[in-house]
Every structure is written in structure tokens, then in C-alpha cells.
Chains A and B, each alone.
Chain A
Amino acid sequence: MAMKRQIPFALVFIFGIFMLFQYFVPHESSEWVYEFLLDWIYIIGILALALGIWSLFRVSVDKIKTKKPNWVYSYVTLMGLFIMTVFGFTAKTGDSWGLYPVFVITFMLALFMLIQVLAKPASRNLYGLFGGAFLLAAVLIAILDRTWGFYFMEAKGLQNSMFRIFFDDVMMPILSTMFALLAFFIASAAYRAFRARNLLASLLLIAALIVMLRFNPYLPYAAYVAKVSNWLMNVPNLAGQRAIVIGIGLGIVATALKVILGIERGYMGKG
């Protein structure tokens, strides 16, 4: 038990202190250890990524299994995750795609059957049988079809036209649309929130109006409004933001010290 607590504390203390002093030591060996530690963060991160994918898979399958609200979308999540992974690791070797579309379909069907096996244990044998057959078909196509191939060590898959089409024509419009909807909510929120209820609210309202009008060239005193807006951004806004930034900075230093000295133990799942 002591090992379980003391070793992590010791590691955090040693590496925390090292990283703190390393910043001020421009010696070659210090730089080498620093680079070595950066590499370790990548290694830990990659393992965390694998854990994250596994966790997403489990959570989505559980959602389907227990039929939680919007469980159908979990299929979309999983299919999206795996189809983009397949596109990212495959590329054509010649001019044609050969049996690639059949491979993608059979692979996705195999995945669908796997999800069904996990989500519906009662029919596991039937889904398992179909899943195995689809997987076998996908593997055979992958082995026998020479018009395309897997590229795990090269970035060729990123040039896969399917990868680009899915990114440019599916991902980009979806995310842009989500963000564009914000404009409507901001308009509605501004209408409700900007009311001159008291002195402070009135100041906020006036400042907001000036900043919104700053690029309106049709106003009679457009250049003057732009100057006032610039002053608002560069003086009162700067002062307020600077106070916040300094406060946050001091907070970060205090929290880092608390973690290094073992006072803050939240990272171990304890308060």
C-alpha cells in the first residue's frame, strides 16, 4: 500500500524538481535528459490513445446493449471511427481500386457483427458466424487483391481519395455547420442579456455596441467609433485580461508546487 502511494509521490517530486531546474540549466546533458523525458511523454500518450479508443468502443457497445437514449448514434460513432482508420492506413498501388470497396464493406460488416455479438449475447453464435465469414472475406480480399495495400509505416493513406472525400465533404461541413449555429444562439443571447438594468450592465451594453459597430463604415463617425473601439480593446480590456492572466499564472505556480510537494493528490484519484 505504501509502495502504491509513496512511489508515485517520489516520481512526481523528482521529475517535477528536475523539470523546474532544467529550465535554468543550459548544459548539454540537461538538454539530453529533457529530450529523453519528452519522448517518454509521447510513449505514455500513445498508450493513452489506445486506451481511449478501447474506452470509446466499450462505452458505445454498452450504450447499444442497454439501449440508452440515442443509442443508434453509437453505431455511427463506431463505424466512423473504424472506417476513417481503414482509409488512413490503405492506399491504391495502381490505377484502379480493384476490390477495395468490397473489402471496406465486408470489413465494416464484420465490425457490425462484432458489435452485435457484444451487445446481444443471446444471438452471439449467429452474429459470430456471420462476423467470422465477413472477416475471412475481408482478409482474403486484402491478401489477394494487389491493386491496393496497407501502409502502416508510411503516410500514403493520408492521400487516399476516400480519406480526403470523407474529411472535405463530410467532416468539414458538419463541423462548420455546428459552429455557424452559434451565431443564432449568440444573437438570441445578446437580445436577452444586453439590458441596461443598472450602471454596470449599461457600461457593458455600450461597450458591446461600440465594438460591434467598429467596422461599420456606413456610420457618420466610423473612424471615430473604430478609434474608441480600439481604445476599449487596448486599455480597459487589456487591464482586465492582464489581471486575469497574472491571477491564473500565480494559480498555476501554486498548484504545480502543491502537486510536486504531494499536497495536491487529485491526480491519484484522491483529494
Chain B
Amino acid sequence: MDIFEKMMKLDRRWIFLFLIIVCVVTYAIPFKVPILVEPEVRSIYNFIDSLPPGDIILVAIDYDPNNLAELHPMTYALVEHAWRKKLRVIFTALSQNGPGMAEQAILDISDSLKQDRTFNGVHFKGREIKNGIDYTFLGYKPYYALVILGMGQNFRLPFPTDYYGTPLDSIPMMRGVLNYDQVAGVIDLSGGSITDAWISYGQGRFNFPLALGLTGVMTAQYYPYLGSGQVFGIMGGLLGAAEYEELADNPGRAKDGMRIQLYAHMVIILFIIMGNVGYFAERRRQKREEKGR
């Protein structure tokens, strides 16, 4: 086997080894990666930023722990931005393991909000985030399409109580909040087909502003909805989360992870180039041999 053939038929374990070395090294060495912000992420940031204090947004945490690396940073960046702007947030979690993810995010972000911070030159005083006043966590109910339709009639239909068992009518924040009409917009952070239900049954039927936070592999699939105006913004994968962190001036896990992703992609590109060089050299050799015969 000559060098070109070896380049073309490399054992995949070498790829795994090289990739893990690059991931570990880039994780260990702290350096910053500049982020170029795309318009579809900027529109989500601008939407949240333009809302007056007290407005309500609905954040749907529709992902499981397997999408944690890509989608959790989006939740952290977006919700912290919303709470610093004194918006009120309704959380839902329509995937089975979503409530655990949502609760973890709520507790962590609430802790972060206790500290004084400065973002984009604006000083925000730390404050206590209170359940029932700053947010309501509705929790999980099966059959997400029905839940989305039900919330369009009245939040109390699918969720008579919140996740902790408090009746919705006893929650100060939910007084006078009947359905999507009282919500400024919905941001769905999802790693699966729940996104389709939010578009078809939610936005399609009740016509609220909808933005999506998706895993990297899903992103391309949802661009038609951006083009048609059914969705006003898309955050795609870790890059989308890093772009939001960049806009919010709140570097977190996503910007941290970008340096690993950047070099991992470069390794993959390197292997693709190597495979192609081997392929063309092999093809040329075969042609030469055929001519020789």
C-alpha cells in the first residue's frame, strides 16, 4: 500500500485519536475566538432587547441532556439577558427530560442574577429572581402538539398548576395571562421534532412571534420558515449560542466551546483534504496503469 492509498484508506481509529487530542489540547489552553454574528441571531437579540420591562416571553426548553452542550448555553445567555432586562418568563419543557434541564438552568441563572454585572457598558444591579413573580415554570405534559394547541386557548387547560403544584391562578405573574395573546414572543429551544409543532400548531394557528434555538444538524432544515417570516430568528448549534453570548456581552459556555469546535472542524477539513488527495493520486495511478496495458 503506497502513501496515497494509505491517505485514502486511513483507519478510523487514527481519526478518533487525532480528534480527541485536538479537543483536549484546545480545551486545556484558554484563548478567545472572535465571533462573527449572523443576522438571524441578531434579530432574536434585538427582539429581547427591545421589549419593555415587565413584558412576558415564553421560553420552551424542549431538549434532553443529549443536546445539553449546544442548547443549554443558548438558554443561559437568552434567559439571563431577558431577566437583566426585567422581562418575565414563562418556561415550558415539552420533552420528557426537559423539566430537569429547565430547573437546572433556572436555578443557575437565578444565582448569576444575584451579582452586579455590566453588559455592553450598561450596569445591572444584582437582584433576587422570584418564582411566580419573575418566572413561572409550567413543567412537562405529554403530547406536545396538544399542549401547544391547549395553551393557545388557555394556559390553564394543559397546566392547571405549575411544575411545583401551585394553581396558576394563585401565581401573581399569571394573573390576567390567559394565552399567547399576553405573551410578547415564544423562543423554542429544541433538539427534536417539537419545533415542527411550535411552527405548525403554535405560530401557524395563533400567529405569535416565534424564534428557534436548534442543534447544529437541525438548523438547515428550518431556514424555509425564516424565509417565509414564520420564524423571526434562528440560533443554530453552539455557534448560534456563542453569537448570542457575543451580542449580550456575556461570554459563557458557548464561547468557551467554540475554540474546541473551531479546531475540531479544522481537523475534519484536514482529513477530508487528505482523503481527496489520496483519491485523486490513486485515480491518476489507475489511469496510468490502464494506458500502460
Contact = CB atoms under 8 A, between A and B. Distances in A.
Q: Does B bind A?
A: yes
Interface of A: 31, 35, 38, 41-42, 45, 49, 154-156, 158-159, 164, 167-168, 171-176, 178-180, 183-184, 186-188, 190-192, 194-197, 205, 208-209, 212-217, 222-223, 226, 230, 233-234, 237-238, 241-242, 245
Interface string B33-54: 1111011000000000000000
A217 B34 contact: yes
Interface residues of B, number: 59
B65 A196 contact: no
Contact of B104 (A156, A168, A209): A168
B262 A241 contact: no
Contact of B223 (A41, A172, A190, A237): A237
Given A35-B157, A178-B66, A187 B267 contact: yes
B12 to A, nearest CB: 4
B131 interface: no
Contacts of A222: 36
Contact of A176 (B12, B68, B275): B68
A16 to B, nearest CB: 16
Contact of A213 (B223, B226, B264, B269): B269
A214 B68 CA distance: 23
A44 to B, nearest CB: 10
A155 B269 CA distance: 49
Contact of A191 (B38, B141, B227, B271): B271
B174 to A, nearest CB: 17
Interface of B: 10, 12, 15-16, 19-20, 33-36, 38-39, 64-69, 97, 99-100, 104, 139, 141-143, 146, 149-150, 153, 157, 161, 163-165, 219-224, 226-227, 239, 258, 262, 264-269, 271-272, 274-276, 279-280
A245 B195 CA distance: 14
Contact of A195 (B19, B36, B227, B276): B276
A38 B157 contact: yes
B38 A226 contact: yes
Contacts of A168: 100, 104
Contact of B10 (A191, A196, A213, A217): A191
A195 B279 contact: yes
